[in-house]
Structure 1
Amino acid sequence: MATVAVFGVASIQASLRQGLNRNYLSGTAQNLNWILTYHLSVTDPERYGAPGDGVTRIVEVDQIGPGWPWLRLVRPVFLVFYPVPLWRLFRNRGSFAAMVDCGLAAYLSYFMLSVGVHENHLFIGTVLAVAAAVLAPEKTMRAVNVLLFLVFWLDVVAPGRVTRRDSAAG
């Protein structure tokens, strides 16, 4: 409710509309669409480009065509999983720690299932995971896992190709 009070319903609806209507799959997002992008590049490198260094690039959704039912399934699955943590929070009238925890679960469902997500979007999940660990120390291992996942990707799998390094140099 605080989000609605601060930003208004129209802003939230516009943000969700924009987030749910992306037109590309990222080859560097480490989510379910990343797997699909990799599969497309391996099975049809002429059309989608061969994977380089084990990492595929961005694929336009329009390129994929109607033969891939995956894209028709991802958005409804996302719309099922995204509100579940929020519903749980409102049902239980949880504490601030529970709100951060539910926010992390909702955000990670966005990260794993939404079209158009890139690896840098995991940074917000890392902040939420660390905040949840500070508020509830038993959640520390989860925060460590999310942080290691992000650091491993940025520094081991894709060094030099990630925006944070490009923007720091320029």
Structure 2
Amino acid sequence: MPAKGTGDVDNWTRLINYVRTNPDSSLFPECLNYRCGVFYPATYPPGHFLIVYVLGRIAPVNINPHLLFKITVFSFYLLGLAVLLIFHPGLITAVVYLGLPSLIINSQGLGYTDVFFLPQLIGSLFLLSRNKHFPAGLLFGLACFFKWQPVILLPLILVYLFFSQKGKNGLFKPGIFLVGMIVPQFILIWFKADPVTTLKLFLSGALNDPILSAALNLPWLVTQYLISSGRALPNQAGVYFLEISKNNPFYSLMFSGRLIFLLVYTGILIQFTRKLKNRSGFNFFLLSGQLVFFSYFMISPAVHENHFYIPVILSLMLFLRNPNLHTIILLLMSELINFTNLSFFYGLTGIPLINVSKNPLISIILTLIFALVYFRQIRSYWRSEKIVIQPED
């Protein structure tokens, strides 16, 4: 808990102090509309502010904001385990979950807030597997209320619900799920916030992040090439990434990267619908979801080092439902990629283990290894190899 973490931790602790020193009338709806008087990242949905607001208002003022924030992150980490245990009770669930170093580093070492959507996402997916479509949508909407990344799974979820529908009305299940997903957004209306502003910035966070790459992926190789060849320079001295705005001559890289990811995603959806009837439905959904996020991580621009969080969770859920050698390998591979990305850029506590800017060769080698793993998994998915999915009960 004493770990400094990334710069995001400083942002949240400053916001906690701001809440403590300002009356309610100056916070609602201004902060939810991103006019807070203190930095609140426009790439984050407003759920973060509501958590920080509760912390600043309820917690005793003598508790250090940094410690308070870390305790909260740890609490969500444990809450994620609690939800897993509800659906998969047993010692093995706790041992595997608590034994994944990257989840600990993500939350406690670096202070990332991915855990804020973790319990809702796990609960949503497990409810989905039990055909509880409205509450599944409700929890999924809550997950998206804290970060936009879970929404990447939405097309796959809707396709899964449509094609797993037994009966004539194939739109009923996806429709019920979407209704549930919309309900949590009424929280904004209750706080007199502007849902249009929230949606606009939600989409901006997903589509307008100017960083070409801050992770060990294919756009990272492009970044290193542009920097080493002198064709582009970082916007700030000492940083290791490139910011490419719309007037930048290399802006087409941002568009083309997203387009390629969408094409790959479409291909996965087509393959998913073709093989869903011949596979164990929800387990195959988890496998496909992991590959969708792996594709996003490796191909899309504006990916950050902590964005492999969800593939680890999906691999963990698949292993718990279907433990065999292949799902163990998938989980260990996901864990290794997540751990390597986090530790390479920020170490274990927010202090990089190496100078990223001065050691590009190491990052290039690691990226090429991960790319080979990714292409191997894509090939296996298309050829129905390796991952053995046992029938569901």
Q: TM-score, normalised by structure 1?
A: 0.71
Amino acid at match of 1:76: L
Larger radius of gyration: 2
* CA pair 118-141 structure 1, distance change in 2 beyond 3 A: same
Aligned residues of 1:101 and 1:128 also touching (Cα < 8 A) = yes
1:1-170 correspondence runs (5 A): 1=158, 2=174, 3-8=177-182, 18-26=205-213, 28-44=214-230, 47-48=233-234, 57-62=240-245, 65-66=248-249, 70-91=253-274, 92-93=276-277, 94=279, 95-136=281-322, 137=324, 138-155=326-343, 158-159=346-347, 160-161=349-350
The structure carrying a bigger helix percent of its residues is: 1
1:67 Cα deviation after fit: 5.2
1:154 Cα deviation after fit: 2.6
Q: Which segments of 5 or more consecutive residues in structure 2 lack a partner in the other structure?
A: 1-157, 159-173, 186-198, 352-393
CA–CA separation in structure 1 for the residues paired with 2:241 and 2:259: 22
* CA pair 32-50 structure 1, distance change in 2 beyond 3 A: farther
CA–CA separation in structure 1 for the residues paired with 2:206 and 2:245: 17
1:151 Cα deviation after fit: 1.6
1:72 Cα deviation after fit: 4.2
* CA pair 158-151 structure 1, distance change in 2 beyond 3 A: same
Q: TM-score, normalised by structure 2?
A: 0.34
Aligned length: 156
CA RMSD of aligned residues (A): 3.4
CA–CA separation in structure 1 for the residues paired with 2:339 and 2:292: 21
* CA pair 85-98 structure 1, distance change in 2 beyond 3 A: same
DSSP 3-state at the match of 1:24:
coil
Aligned residues of 2:305 and 2:345 also touching (Cα < 8 A) = no
